[in-house]
Amino acid sequence: MSESVFHFQQGTVPLLISIPHLGTEIPAAIAAQLQPHALEVADTDWHLDRLYDFAQRMGASVLGAKYSRYVVDLNRPSTGESLYPGQTTTGLYPMETFRGEPLYRNDSEPDTAEQATRLQTYWQPYHAKLEAEIARLKSEFGSVLLWEAHSIASVLPRLFEGKLPDLNLGTNSGASCDARVLDAVIATLGEQPYTWVANGRFKGGYITRRFGRPEQGVHAIQLEMCQSTYMNESSPFAYRPDLADGVRPVVERMMQAALDALRAG
């Protein structure tokens, strides 16, 4: 297993935070195929390692990608089928940005052989590490909370209407997590200033759907946050401590509540 494609910190509690869209690196050979605007990697889930800096204090394991989703999207199935049939989304090997801008220069899109190489080099090691760490935690604790950490620009007309709620919880419409665990998270959201929804436009991506098996002791929750809650949404995508310091404790309380519910069950 190549650990050069991800960052990993092993924890001491039954909690694994996965950040599959954290990466910004693009190999030189792939970068040469891309349009200049693609090199800004605008669709990155920016700064989530910094926002989730409380993870070490909680004792969580943390897995984060090093390479950009423009190389291969770690939160898509390896077969490439859509997670939201009938809705606009980006694929396993994205060909355009969230705003519909083409990523590749003329006639330079990855062919079948190149796609297979990217899958083996970047996608498979990340998923193998996810699987191994979930198995380790389940063996030690009996059950596991997988927290899928994501963020996105708050307004993207190509993908959704209007402004997205600040906090978007997804459990594959209840299939990836026991209701008691999600209910515990929701119970923390009454006295805070951020809008939220559960299983709205974002119901959880491939990782949530693949690994979330509450009947087998693995409970997966995706949190898709509006980037406007903690950063500037335009280039150079600066982190905003004045904003982040407000939302970070809200996210920490959500995660702690889920972990407490898991242990109580």
Q: Express each pLDDT in 50-105 by its tens digit.
A: 999 999 999 999 999 999 999 999 999 999 877 777 776 788 999 999 999 999 99
Report if residue 1 sits inside a domain.
no
User: Which domain range does residue 241 map to?
Assistant: 6-264
- The CATH number that applies at residue 65 is 3.40.630.40
Overall pTM surpassing 0.75 (yes/no)? yes
Q: Could you give the 3-state DSSP secondary structure of residue 73?
A: coil
**Which alpha helices (DSSP H) does the chain contain, by range?**
28-31, 48-51, 55-58, 112-118, 124-141, 179-186, 206-211, 241-264
Q: Express each pLDDT in 215-263 by its tens digit.
A: 999 999 999 999 999 999 999 999 999 999 999 999 999 999 999 999 9
What gap in Å lies between CA 162 and CA 262, rounded to an integer?
35
Domain count, the chain: 1
Question: Which amino acid would we find at residue 6?
Answer: F
What gap in Å lies between CA 102 and CA 97, rounded to an integer?
7
Angle at 198 between CA 196 and CA 203, to 5 degrees: 125
What gap in Å lies between CA 35 and CA 52, rounded to an integer?
32
Report if residue 64 sits inside a domain.
yes
Q: Residue 2: which pLDDT band, with cuts at 50, 70 and 90?
A: low
**Which alpha helices (DSSP H) does 76-166 contain, by range?**
112-118, 124-141
The secondary element (H helix, E strand) that includes residue 222 is strand 218-226
Question: Which amino acid would we find at residue 176?
Answer: S
**Is the pLDDT reported for residue 1 higher than 50?**
no
The answer, yes or no, to whether the previous bond of 102 is cis (omega within 30 of 0) is no
Q: Are 46 and 150 in contact (CB under 8 A)?
A: no
Cβ count within 10 A of residue 179: 12
Report if residue 121 sits inside a domain.
yes
User: Among residues 119, 161, 141, 175, which one has the least CA distance to residue 59?
Assistant: 141
14 Cα distance to chain centroid: 18
